Chains A and B, each alone.
Chain A
Amino acid sequence: MLSNPFNFRSSFREAERLRRDMNELFEMLDRGPRLSVAATYPAMNVWTNPDGAIVTAELPGINPEDLEISVQGDTLTLRGNRSADALGEGEAYHRRERGNGQFQRAFQLPFAVDAAKVEATYELGVLSITLPRAESDKPRKIQVASA
């Protein structure tokens, strides 16, 4: 907002700020949001629309049966285990970069989730959880009654 349209200096600054904001916005639309650092394994991406969200995580080489997904209110909890390959006799590792072990992550969503309608798929090592927004959480349009 222009604080004082007659003050040239300040309106110039405002215009400059607006230009910068617009640039940032276009950059965001182009490349998506800035990369955040995961709090714990695994890293997650969150896709949203007004009706819900899709949370994705790259979890290569996991047995889907070892995954435990639970939702309570607006919190999604993911627990799992990535087991290591069992090496046979006479086999030795040269390199070992792939992590293994247990993981647990709780993630808070910006809305309450309809837990009964949550669906998850695991494909090509990518987990995708569809979380519909609870009806009670959706904004309600209020009709204005004319008197």
Chain B
Amino acid sequence: MAESKEIEVREAEKQELAQSGAERTRAQQAFVPRVDIYETDEMVAVVADMPGVDAGSVDINLEQSVLTITGNVNEKRPEGYTLAYAEYRTGDYVRSFTLSNQIDQDRIEAGVKDGVLRVHLPKVRPTSKKITVSAG
């Protein structure tokens, strides 16, 4: 791996969720998590940076072909301290994707570790057999 590569400052920036038609019910600010999406023959994988989110506060929803990932963050404010200087804000995470593949909903797997959500969306295995048309 390229060991000398450095993370750029812009990676530290959090993009606020743009206000869409529906308003949020939680008063907290919401952010768009940074994601990596990759595909294999069997599945589509979504990896999202959601610091502060644990397994209990994450929600994955697939409706029609729209995948929505939501992570609620309950910020832990250090007791007895006041925030004197801030470079980032904390808040929930929301992001939606339209999937182009047929996904096998029953086999979706997801896990959160160290603030990173990984969702594996297995593609529907082709069940139809190839039909040969015989001339005759």
Taking beta carbons and an 8 Å cutoff, which residues of A are in contact with B?
32-49, 53-54, 58-62, 82-85, 87-88, 90-104, 122, 124-126, 128
Number of A-B contacts (CB under 8 A): 152
Residues on the A chain within 8 Å of B52, using CB: 58, 124-126
Interchain residue pairs with CB less than 8 A apart (28): A33-B84, A33-B86, A38-B12, A38-B88, A40-B9, A41-B6, A41-B7, A41-B11, A43-B13, A45-B86, A47-B77, A47-B81, A54-B78, A59-B51, A60-B50, A60-B51, A92-B38, A98-B11, A100-B7, A101-B5, A102-B5, A122-B114, A124-B51, A124-B52, A124-B114, A124-B115, A125-B116, A128-B78
Closest A residue to B100 by CB, please name it.
A94
Q: Is the CB of B81 within 8 A of A85?
A: no
CB distance from B70 to the nearest CB of A (A): 16
Query: Known contacts A82-B7, A125-B49: does B87 contact A36 (CB below 8 Å)?
Result: yes
Is B40 positioned at the interface, with any CB of A under 8 Å from its CB?
A: yes
Residues on the A chain within 8 Å of B6, using CB: 41, 101-104
Query: Known contacts A41-B8, A91-B39: does B81 contact A125 (CB below 8 Å)?
Result: no
Residues of B113-136 at the interface with A, using a CB-CB cut-off of 8 Å, are: 113-116
Q: Is the CB of A47 within 8 A of B83?
A: yes
Taking beta carbons and an 8 Å cutoff, which residues of B are in contact with A?
1-9, 11-14, 34-41, 47, 49-54, 77-78, 80-89, 113-116
Name the prevailing secondary structure of the A interface residues.
loop
Residues on the A chain within 8 Å of B41, using CB: 90
Among B49, B77, B89, residue most surrounded by chain A Cβ atoms (within 10 Å) = B49
> Which one of A49, A98, A103, A122 lies within 8 Å of B36 (CB-CB)?
A98
Residues on the B chain within 8 Å of A90, using CB: 40-41
Closest A residue to B32 by CB, please name it.
A97
Top 6 closest A-B pairs, CB basis?
A125-B115, A99-B11, A60-B115, A101-B5, A125-B51, A47-B81
